[in-house]
Every structure is written in structure tokens, then in C-alpha cells.
Chain A
Amino acid sequence: MPVKTYDVLIVGSGHSGGMAANILTSKGISCLMLNAGPEADYEKDRALKHAYELPYRGFDKPGRLPHVFQANEFNANQWVDEKEVPYTCPSDAPYNWVRVRLLGGRSLFWARQSFRLSNLEFKAAEIDGEGENWPISLEDLAPYYSRVEKIFRVAGRKEGWPQFPDGDFVEINYPPDTDSIKRFTQIATKQGVGVSKWRSALGKDGLASSINLLLPDALATGKLDIVENAIVREISVDKNTGLANGAHFVDRHSGREMHVKTRVVVLAAGCLESTRLLLNSKIGNSSGVMGHYLVDQMYGVSVVASVPEARDGKAPPGLMGGNAFIPRFRNLSKKDKRNFIKGYCVGISSGGNANANFFPLYGEELQAKLDSYANSCVSGSIFGERVARYENHVRIDSEVKDRWGIPVLHIEARDTDNERNLCKDAADTIEEWFHDAGWEIICKTDRVNPPGYSIHEVGTCRMGDDPKKSVLNKWCQSHDVKNIFVVDGASFVTCGWQNPTMTILSLSMRASEYLAEQMRTNAV
């Protein structure tokens, strides 16, 4: 049977792959998208249930997803099964790799917080005095951010602060701040700290995914075919030209091996899976940098306080509820000298209940405390920036293979004093704010969850102008193999404190337009 031929193979169907498909097909370029997992049917595959109806009463099958702290029995089947696709870590350095292989990838479940990076991140080396700058600046990416924000309908409040670049936001009416949030804002503002609001992608009906915002248009061009359950194992290379000429893939159910020929390969399998694929294909790594500089944000630092006037159900109307968001406020200039470089943002939420684990109590005494503190709590937590370090890396562990015989990743990432000092500063600062507000501190921790926990892993094929120090050029194009592009988070040079997806989408859009132009002029 004659098979179709395609210009571009796109590996992965999440935000990054969806954007590549959308842009490339809109330019008349034919694309094949291979996705490792199946399509979910929202009607058939999920149902509203009580926890007692589930086989393990909501606990989930013991030992099933030891590294996915976000997993519970309701959502356990969303995540990649760690036994099917394992990875290895040193015993003293656990890594939480949180993956989704369904069509649409993580875009089905992300929390939709949407921020731009600023030049504090793009030009980080200048302010940090170490590390590398990105080969692009905010000005290069700003037009793409704008277009992405319109597609994803990002709601946000404009502030005009350089460390928190404004975007093309949907205007929404934020409800007036409650008195607890006003009180907090006064205290932080007095210290010169800017207090804003969360920025969030509204998408459509609460879904801001490739499957509803990007892929339908791409399919409508007639230029895109999507194949589910197709796991790409290796990129194939033409021995004469050294260029990629397609990929070997395997059917998830039967294990049947297939090959597809294409002119260009776009990797959008998520930072670590794209890197694994390149490492297993043994291409694109003349710099020796591939797999290194793995980085993500730190989550875990948290302070919870209780507003005394709100206790025992006595909160007057308008006291509790609402939230505030503080973008990075540390190390905004070289003058700010601390025992750490980089910074963190703080999310403040008012009006919550206290958790049972906050109190060293049990039984009736615990219940009385929980009742008394209900709706009186204010919490503060951070996303902190880690430093991208060469030592934090992934490599192939050829001893261990996944269910389809594909060698897995070994992941090694550790924190240093910079991360610990940053987290201590964050916990102390939030505690001080809450204390100044006259609130009772219930608990405080500067402990950080293991790397990977933020689900924002980036950096393992970093971009740069120098092919000796980077894997990709500023267009997300392999320095070594010109017809390979990596459009997910692997290209990041620093991770910032910002959730990465707006940047991933903008980079994918920019790279795809560049690729389309290169194909038009036959430069690729």
C-alpha cells in the first residue's frame, strides 16, 4: 500500500509539539506527529466517583508512583507508569520525573500559570556574575509571547516592572482585595516589594491544551497526520550527508518496529525525553554538553499563619480570602548583595483551613483546633530558581531498558548552598511579613522537594551561539545536524522562577517559523 510522505516529523503532541504542528501546517508544510501514548476520551475515560468506590479507597495501588507526589488514586492513570518507563538515580539524590504520555501530554493537566521570562533571566550572567546568557533577549521573544498569550488567553494585571514583563493579557475584573490581603500588601510594599496577581491562561472552558487550542487548526489544514501509541526510539541518519532522514518507532501495544522517512525532525517529546532520544541516537552532541545543565524550580518552602480575628468562625465579612503574587524581588540589581544569587517568587493565599499535620495533636483535641482555625489561615509558598550547573545531568543507563527495550535515563541532580540559602531567606522573609501583620505563625519550613518536583525540568540541550558550549543555536536548531530542531524546554539556558510553558510555546512558535522559512528557501 502506498504510504504518505511528510516534510516534517514532530515527536510529541504537548504544548511544544502542538505549536510546531500549528505553525508548520499553516505554512503549507506536511507534518506527521508521533505520540508515545493514546488519546484520552474525556467522556469515556473518566467518571465522577467517591473515594470509597476506588479499589484502594483513594490511596492508590501501593508503590505504583513513588516519585509522583502529585499522584493520587483519582488521577494515577494519567501519569507514566514508572515500571513501564523507569529511570535511575543515585540513592542519595532522588529525582521526581513527572510525565504524561497521553495525546496532548502535560498540556491536559497543567495548572496554567503563565509568565514571561525577563532579561534578568535571559541575561542572567550579567547580574549573577557567573553562568551563561541566553543567545536571545526578551525583545527577541516578546512578539511571540504576545501571540501565544492571545491564543492561550492569559489573564493578568499589568505592572510595568522589568522583572515581571507585562503581556497581551485578557482583561478580567479582579475582585477587590480582602482586608487580610490589603494588610499583607501594605507590609510588603513598605519594604519596596511589589505585590501583584497571578497570571493564568484561561484557555477554553478551563482547558489550555494543544488538543483544543493548537491541533484542531493544524488538522483542519489537511497537512497533519497524528499517530497515537507510536514510541520513537531512534532518529535515523543519512550516512552520506550526516543529516537526519527519519526515525525508527515502535507500536506501544504490539511492539512492532516501523520507520518513517522525513526531511526534518522536530523534537517536542518534553525536555528529558527529547534528550534521551538524541542520546540514544548518538547524534548532535559534539559539544559534550547534551544532558547537562538540568534545572527546574524549587517548591516546598512554606509558611502558614492564622489571623486571630478570623478564628472560631468569627471572621468579619471581607477579612479573609483572595490571593496575592510577588514576583522576584531579590537580586534585582548588582547592589543587592546576598548569600545567594537568583531569586524567587511568593504566592500568598488567604482564607484556607489548617491541615491536621500542622498540629501535634490527635482525636477530639485536634478536631477542636481544626474547627477553631478553619478559614483563618494565610499561607505563603515559593517557586525558587535553581542555578543551572554542568554537574546536574542525565545520561543513558544502558543497563536498564523500558518495556520496549529502549535504554532509560540516569538522572543526577543535587542542590547546593545557593539553593539552601535562597530557601532559608524565603522562609524567614515570609515569616517576618506574617509576623509584622500580627498573625500567629503555625508552621514554617525551608525544606525543598527533590529536583523535578516542580514538573518544570529544562536545559539539557541548551541553546547558545558557540557550538562548543551549546547543543542548539538560538533557533532551537541542532548545531551539528541542521535538520533537527528541539522545541521543548530542553533549549533553556536558565530556568528562572517563572513557570516555563509560555516560554516553551513562544520558542516553539519562533523556531517553527524560522524552520518554515529555511525550508522555503531550501536552506534546510
Chain B
Amino acid sequence: MKRRNFVQNLLLAPVAPAVAAAATQTPSPQPAIHQKPATEPKTPVRERPWGPHDVPKLDLTGVDLTGQPAPHYFTAAQFATLRKLGALFVPPLKSNPGALEAQAPEFLDFLIGASPDDRQNLYRFGLDSLDSQSRDQFQKPFCDLDAQQADRILRPLLVVRPWAEDFPSDPLQKFIAQVHEDLRTATMNSREWAAASEKSGRHFTRGFRGSGYYWFPIDPISQG
């Protein structure tokens, strides 16, 4: 029904710039075949449809407000390295939360755990490599380095990327570019970031980061 109304509204709209208006005037030829009217049984109209009426719309609570994420994909050592990267790459600045406040590492534990093999392998390789480099160079895990020590490992791994989808071919440089990008996105797309923006009166950007029009699955095929 709704669909019909939509089409009818379009038909009634006085503005649709008609091809006919722009078309050169040519006499219409006779249609080659005359159309037989199809007969389609009408759906019976009822005053009041069957079923329950005035079903109340209940007030529900967002899941993030009720529970804490339970990271389980990375090993404890890998997760500690990821948290350390979060603290270094996206610290809290101005009134914005940092990666740790936004629980970006916890979110990435979920995201990477649900990702295809190549992304999982990149993360595991990258986190393990940083940790072993740290143990070789400073005889302690990466998560225990001070900022200067961590910088000596990280700085040579940073590269300029003209487009977000450009990644270096060196696997460790690639991991650093990817995890940096992911930590920033997970932070800036968090509930905490949104709340801080709202508090400071800043507006969201539209689109990938911030807010935007979300398209629901449109008439999905049942997965049976």
C-alpha cells in the first residue's frame, strides 16, 4: 500500500521535468500490440485489521550502557601491546577521549576476532613483532616501555599514505598504518567521543566518521 502511495505521490508531483516537455514533437505511433487488461483480485478492505491493537512501543536501553566488553580474541600479551598502542597513538587531547577511554582496544579485539584471516594474521604478526622487538632492544615487553623507548621502535615504521587505502608492502609498516587507522576510527566513532562532542557543542561530521544516514538491510533474502 505504502509503495503505491509513494508512486502516486511521484505522479502527482507537479515538478517532474517530463521528457515529453523536452522531447521534439513527433506523432505517437500506434502501439504494435494492444494490451489485455490483467485482472488482479483486490485485497479485502477491513475497517479494523485482525490482530492486537495499540501495541505499546517500549523504551529499551542500548547494550553498551549495561555491560562491559569481554575481550577474548587476543592473548593477554597481544592485548597489552594493543592497549599500549592505543595510549600512544590516540591519547586524550583537548576535551576528547583517547583510545583507552573509548575502549577502542576492546572493540578491536571483537572486530579483528570477527575478521578474515589476512586481517587477523596482520594483527597477530604486528603485535607479536613489536613485543619481541621490545624484548630484544629493551629487555621488557612493549607495554612496559616508556614513551621515548616506544618511539624508537615506532617512528621508523610510520609512512606517508596519500589515500587511506594505500598501505605499505612491508608487513610491520602495514600493521602500524592499519592499527593506527583502526584505533583512530574506533575512538572517533565511539559513544564517548560523541558525548564529548555534544558537551563541547561541536558538530558531527557526516559520513564514515561521526554520524550519517544508515541504510537498513532492504528487503533482505531469508538466509534459510
* Chain A contacts to B: CB under 8 angstroms: 1-7, 19, 22-23, 26-30, 37-41, 44-54, 56-59, 61-63, 69, 72-78, 84, 102, 143, 147, 150-151, 153, 204, 211-217, 219-220, 223, 229, 252-253, 263, 300, 302, 304, 355-364, 367, 403, 443-445, 447, 449, 509, 513, 516-517, 519-520, 522
Contacts and interface: CB of A to CB of B under 8 A. Distances in A.
15 contacts: A27-B26, A29-B32, A37-B218, A38-B218, A40-B218, A51-B208, A52-B189, A59-B189, A147-B24, A214-B19, A223-B35, A229-B219, A252-B221, A357-B166, A360-B158
Contact of B216 (A45, A153, A363, A447): A45
Contacts of B186: 57, 59
B181 to A, nearest CB: 7
Contact of A3 (B38, B158, B177, B191): B38
A47 B16 CA distance: 26
B11 A220 contact: yes
B199 to A, nearest CB: 14
Given A46-B215, A73-B214, A217 B88 contact: no
Contacts of A520: 29-30, 32
Interface residues of B, number: 80
Contacts of B185: 57-59
- Which of A53, A61, A153 has most chain B Cβ within 10 Å? A53
Contacts of B37: 4
Interface string B159-193: 11111111000000000010011101110011101
A62 to B, nearest CB: 4
Nearest to B213: A46
A355 B115 CA distance: 25
A216 B217 CA distance: 25
A357 B35 CA distance: 61
A428 to B, nearest CB: 14
B73 interface: no
B212 interface: yes
B161 A358 contact: yes
Contact of A217 (B19, B119, B189, B216): B19
A52 B190 contact: yes
B17 to A, nearest CB: 5
A58 B221 contact: no
B22 A150 contact: yes
Contacts, number: 238
Nearest to B104: A57
A19 B73 CA distance: 52
Interface stretch (B1-9, B50-58, B75-83, B125-133): B1-9
A52 B194 contact: yes
Nearest to A513: B26
B179 to A, nearest CB: 11
Contacts of B155: 360
A403 B189 contact: no
A253 B224 CA distance: 11
Contacts of B218: 37-38, 40, 45, 77-78, 102
Interface in B189-203: 189-191, 193-194
A63 B116 contact: yes
B210 interface: yes
Nearest to B9: A216
Contacts of A447: 162-163, 166
A50 B166 CA distance: 27
Nearest to B117: A63
Contact of A48 (B62, B114, B211): B211
Contacts of A50: 191, 194, 204, 210-211
B45 interface: no
A297 to B, nearest CB: 16
Contacts of B13: 216
B141 interface: no
Contacts of A74: 207-208, 212-215
Contacts of B88: 362-363
Contact of B161 (A2, A61, A150, A357): A357
Contact of A362 (B16, B154, B161): B154
B222 interface: yes
A300 B163 contact: yes
Contacts of A516: 29
B64 interface: yes
Nearest to B107: A57
B100 interface: no
B42 interface: no
B66 interface: no
B2 A41 contact: yes
B33 A5 contact: yes
A79 to B, nearest CB: 10
A335 B54 CA distance: 78
B31 interface: yes
Contacts of A362: 88-89, 154, 158, 180
A472 to B, nearest CB: 22
- Which of A45, A213, A263, A517 has most chain B Cβ within 10 Å? A45
B20 interface: yes
A77 B30 contact: no
B135 to A, nearest CB: 22
B60 interface: no
B153 interface: no
A357 B91 contact: no
A42 to B, nearest CB: 9
A264 B118 CA distance: 48
A48 B216 CA distance: 11
B48 interface: no
A454 to B, nearest CB: 14
Contact of B91 (A61, A143, A219, A364): A364
Given A45-B216, A204-B15, A263 B32 contact: yes
